[in-house]
Amino acid sequence: MRDQPEQSYFVSARIRIVIRFEDWGSADAPKGPAKPPQLRTGKKDEAPLTPQRTDGGFVLVPKGSGGVQSPGGPQGQLNAADDRTHVVDGIKPVSCEVNRNGLREADTATVVLALADFPFDPRAIRSCAVEVYIGTVSPTEFQLGVEGTTHDEHNAGGGDPSPLSAVADTYLDPYGVQRSNKRFSGWVDEDGVEFSDGEQPLVHLECVDNTKLLADQDAPPKLALSATLPIDEAVATYLANFPQCEGLEVELRPANADKPTLKAALAKSSFKPDLGPSASGSGKQSVLDYLSDCAMALGLMLWIEDAKVVLQRPRTLYATGAVRPNDPFTGRRLPSGRILERRTLVWGLNLESLAFTKRFGRTAGCAVECRSYSGRQKRTLVARHPGKGDRQASTTPGGATDEKWKVHEVAGIDSEEALRAIAQAIYEASARHEMGVRFKTPALGSLGGGNEDPDLLDVETGDAIDVETTRGSYSESDDAVDPGQAGDVASGAGSANAKAYILSLGYSEKLADAYVKAIRASAFPTTFRVKSWVISYNEDGSIQVGGELINYVEVRADKELPDGEETPIDPGAGSPVRVSVSE
């Protein structure tokens, strides 16, 4: 089948760890800042970092560095004043699993190493940064690496002494685009050593991504987010007070979005972010919670993506046509001439398992109502999304209809426009569970992708994926797959054959006609958004990708804010490219 290349991979994984050994309170151990967090006020003269403007936002660099950032983000902080920080690179894991857990939860990784490859007693370690690299190498490079050739020798310099069979930091894809093999960047949360009779000793590392930097830091009650700076600069300026955030970037998406300020959006509101979080012990907030609350007041979500703090309206993340700006996948033009605008998975071709679900209960398609008491206006403000006339009804088989609602109390919002943005954000983030897809696959390339373009390793939360079904074979002339209109999931037949299949089971022609009309409708959902993603690697070279996809019927449920309040969707700058595959 010429649209899908052979899926045979030489898979490689590599772990890079930055170790900080225990100082046991020695006299030469680094000293803490002059002021404890609860006394910090955010004045320019006391912040150890400074926001440096970049093309996409701001990056946090050490004050006095002249705007020069250390490479590698927070995991690149290697310039310790003593000799207790060391880098251990080139470790081949026994196994590792990377879990991209969605926007509301930190990404995690579980790494298992042979003790001989990481022979350090966890009692002697103070902290660890970790990076996981997973990718493919060509058969030629793999063979040369087995024979002893290193990246340094093969590339005539570069300083990489690892075998050529080990995955590199970056690679050039078939289209000349530089892409990264880094699949996880974070911190070791737990380090354990396991000894068993007759088995090699193993080290188990439980890791969490850079969300840890914000989640483990209490928000100082005297430190407040600026209400006058644009929100991305305000967040960067706030985070500059925490030295562990060196190398983090702050980015507002999409690039063409207006940059709101809290003061302009909440001018008459009783919500005052410039007062800082509560100082009471029972009401302590983490930095992550505090910044998330401030972002939500503008209808934005805040999450960590690698070394970036991202601010974005859920609508611009999930809406039809929205594209993640740093996604290397730009679409494909297959040898058959078919153009794929999104990654495509096909049951019967490149999937090991596939399961569809649809929720018909209370959580499916609920409208959202947000309520906030205004002390200034002496009344409760109410905002609903979708607006009147756009709400979807809950319909019984007999045709009886009603509306389902979720009501959220929001504190301190005094602007109806801000409250509408919050209602839309809650709706977009929570309502996309009407339909779900779970799958697993040993393939690393979606339809049309092969050994040199393992695009399923690049997937992040929110990316769009098309899911189709086939009876077991696929070609451009096979009507078992109906591109753009998924086949009949239950029977495995395409929509073109669905009526005959239903009739063969003894059902009435009237029922069969109604069913075919439903699955052939232009709104029949085939595009889903990534909720979570898992990459599992084993030292024998086996690898599996799996995930959970979610969505709702967009033509029925996608609703915008009133004119002038909606942030434009960024369709991305990519265009389909031709992919070379085997005949």
pLDDT digits (tens, 9 = 90+) for 347-376: 878 888 999 887 765 555 678 888 887 777
Q: How far apart are CA 268 and CA 270, in angstroms?
A: 7
The total of other beta-carbon atoms located within 10 Å of residue 36's CB is 9
H runs (alpha helix) in 286-430: 287-296, 314-318, 416-430
pLDDT level of residue 486 (50, 70, 90 thresholds): very low
pLDDT level of residue 583 (50, 70, 90 thresholds): very low
Q: Which residues contact 301 (CB under 8 A, 6 or more apart)?
A: 103, 292, 295, 311, 312, 313, 314, 317, 425, 429
- Kind of pairing, strands 95-100 and 527-538? antiparallel
pLDDT digits (tens, 9 = 90+) for 164-221: 888 888 888 888 889 999 999 999 999 998 888 778 899 999 999 999 999 999 998 8
- Per-residue pLDDT, averaged over 32-51, amounts to 75
pLDDT digits (tens, 9 = 90+) for 296-347: 888 899 999 999 999 998 888 887 778 888 898 988 888 888 888 899 998 8
Q: How far apart are CA 491 and CA 485, in angstroms?
A: 15
Among 264, 206, 540, residue whose Cα is nearest residue 415: 264
Q: How far apart are CA 455 and CA 54, in angstroms?
A: 27
Higher pLDDT, 579 or 426: 426
Among 381, 369, 217, residue whose Cα is nearest residue 304: 217
Query: Where is average pLDDT lowest: 104-118, 240-254, 342-356, 561-575?
Result: 561-575
HSE of 56 in the Cβ direction (CA atoms, 13 Å)? 14
Query: Where is average pLDDT lowest: 333-342, 388-397, 495-504, 531-540?
Result: 388-397
Q: How far apart are CA 141 and CA 547, in angstroms?
A: 30
pLDDT level of residue 107 (50, 70, 90 thresholds): very high
Per-residue pLDDT at 382 exceeds 50:
yes
Paired tokens of 501: 């299949």
- Per-residue pLDDT, averaged over 34-59, amounts to 80
**What's the residue count for the chain?**
583
Among 521, 523, 580, 533, residue whose Cα is nearest residue 557: 523
Q: How far apart are CA 491 and CA 482, in angstroms?
A: 14
pLDDT digits (tens, 9 = 90+) for 275-296: 556 544 445 689 999 999 899 8
Averaged pLDDT of the chain = 80
pLDDT level of residue 567 (50, 70, 90 thresholds): confident
Among 535, 540, 445, residue whose Cα is nearest residue 184: 535
Paired tokens of 370: 């947000």
Where do the structural domains in the chain lie, given as residue ranges? 10-23+69-213, 332-359+434-553+568-578, 367-430
The total of other beta-carbon atoms located within 10 Å of residue 41's CB is 13
Q: pTM for the whole thing?
A: 0.83
Higher pLDDT, 560 or 309: 309
Higher pLDDT, 368 or 271: 368
Q: How far apart are CA 78 and CA 20, in angstroms?
A: 9
pLDDT level of residue 530 (50, 70, 90 thresholds): very high
Q: Which residues contact 103 (CB under 8 A, 6 or more apart)?
A: 301, 303, 429, 461, 462
pLDDT digits (tens, 9 = 90+) for 110-165: 999 999 999 999 999 999 999 999 999 888 888 888 888 887 777 766 667 778 88
